[in-house]
Amino acid sequence: MDLYEYQARELLEEQQIPAPRAIFAQNSHEVAEAADSIGYPCVIKAQVKIGHRGQAGGVKLAHNRDEAILLSESILPMTIHGHKVNGVLVAEAKNIIHEYYVSISVDRTSRDYDVLATANGGTEVEEIAKEHPESVKRLHINALGDFDEEAAKRMADQIGFYHADAEQAADILLKMWKCFKDNDATLVEINPLAKIGDPDDESSKSLCALDAKISLDGNAAFRHDGWKRFDDPTQSDSLEREAAEYGLHYVHLHGQVGVIGNGAGLVMSSLDAVSGAGESQGTGVKPANFLDIGGGASAEVMKHSLAIVLSDSQVESVFINVYGGITSCEQVAEGIIQAFDELHSSKPLVVRFDGNAAAEGLRILAQANNPNIHVEDTMEEAAATAAKLAATALASKEAKR
Ligand code: GDP
Ligand code: MN
């Protein structure tokens, strides 16, 4: 789960990592109030869960109230790299002397944590890193060991912080590590970690986090009260939220064939099979969603899954692909029948069962004798039938129009 900058800042502030004063605002009235309270000049920053906002015109300097309002009116309606702006952060402007980049992230390859840092931070960090890979320092934090003051100091020295900054950098690294661990993060990134102050006054200089990007490990949500404080009802899909309440892995995809399966790999293959069928049949029909019911799913879970998929008004047919391992096809079949009874759905369903209790499951479906339930032997055949049924339903809707 990715956080907005204004949310990520909260977590940095909890560790007392220095950051400019800032206020989140969602309309020009709030911006005016925030800017007056922060003072001028201030920075108006688009809040979107994507980087490179600066280059896209989403970070601007305002010198007075009118300018703050004007800039926010141009930034608030923006869509940056496909992400709708959710508000702006009005932040105290700082005089930047130098920009560093520092991040801590999970490294799956070495099964530990990586500290990445470079003295060439800022908006061009990727380009400079590509041209001068030697300028990027990568250091590991052992997954089972800890990261103490001495290690942080050593790291700050190796990373290439200029002499005067190394001590504060070590302190910030330690605090970032605590932020990373305490919050079950997968990424804590500060870019720029800026050296700010008056260039002519050595004592005024210090490091300050001018931007923050944090991703949290969704699997740890239960340890943090579901991260309710980071809920984003304006952006998250209502079906996705409903599915999350039942512990289902659902992703809305906006096609016409609902897809339900057990195991992420099988569901991904099913999505490909549906897209492939839509293409080869020349209808362009596509999957409406990804839904993984997981291992050992009960009839109850199947029922909720079908209810969620069928409540998507774009869905014209549903493809259920279950390879029974821990999951019993018999349970899945019972869930399907229960859901059909309760939902009074007339949308066609195509089922492919294999593995644990497949024969029992198929028997239950046959006994129901429901003309809307179709059975196929293989994933490809089932995907083709589901795509065809969705296309037929769409065509008959078009004809009625
Ligand atoms: P990003 O483009 O999404 O990474 O957004 P950032 O918050 O990192 O801002 C982009 C750039 O704007 C930074 O690298 C800085 O150069 C500049 N910037 C951000 N805040 C300030 C500030 O307070 N003062 C000055 N002078 N520049 C800033
Ligand atoms: Mn940045």
What span, in angstroms and rounded, lies between the C-alpha atoms of 272 and 262?
Answer: 15
Q: Please state, in angstroms and rounded to a whole number, the distance separating the CA atoms of residues 256 and 263.
A: 21
Active-site residue, selected from the candidate residues 4, 100, 113, 189: 189
Give 103's contacts (C-beta < 8 A, 6+ positions apart).
114, 115, 116, 117, 187, 188, 189, 190, 191
Mean pLDDT for the stretch of residues 280-306: 92
Distance from Cα 84 to the centre of ligand 2, integer Å:
18
What is the Cα–Cα distance from 390 to 393, expressed in whole angstroms? 5
100 is catalytic: no
* Structural domains of the chain ordered from first start: 1-20+95-232 (3.30.470.20), 21-93 (3.30.1490.20), 238-400 (3.40.50.261)
Query: Which pLDDT score is estimated for 282?
Result: 97
How confident is the model over 17-56, as pLDDT tens digits?
999 999 999 999 999 999 999 999 999 999 999 999 999 9
Question: 46: which strand partners?
Answer: 88
Alpha carbon 385 to its chain's center: 33
In a 3-state reduction of DSSP, which class is residue 300?
Answer: helix
User: What is the residue-wise DSSP string for 114-151?
Assistant: EEEEESS-STTHHHHHHH-GGGEEEEEE-SSS---HHH
List the shell of residues around ion ligand 2, using CB closer than 5 Å.
191, 211
pLDDT at 143: 80
- Atom in ligand 1 nearest the alpha carbon of residue 99: 14
Please report the pLDDT score of residue 237 as a whole number.
75
159 annotated among ligand-binding-site residues: no
Q: Is the pLDDT of residue 227 over 90?
A: no
Predicted confidence at residue 151, as pLDDT, reads 87
- Would you state the pLDDT for residue 234? 64
Ligand 2 centroid distance, CA of 122 (Å): 6
Among 12, 96, 128, which residue has the most ligand 1 atoms within 8 Å of its CB, making it the best to mutate? Answer: 96
pTM above 0.75, yes or no: no
The pLDDT score that the predictor gives to residue 82 is 81
- Of all residues in the chain, the percent with pLDDT exceeding 90 is 73
How much of the chain exceeds pLDDT 70, in percent?
A: 99
Q: Is 6 a catalytic residue?
A: no
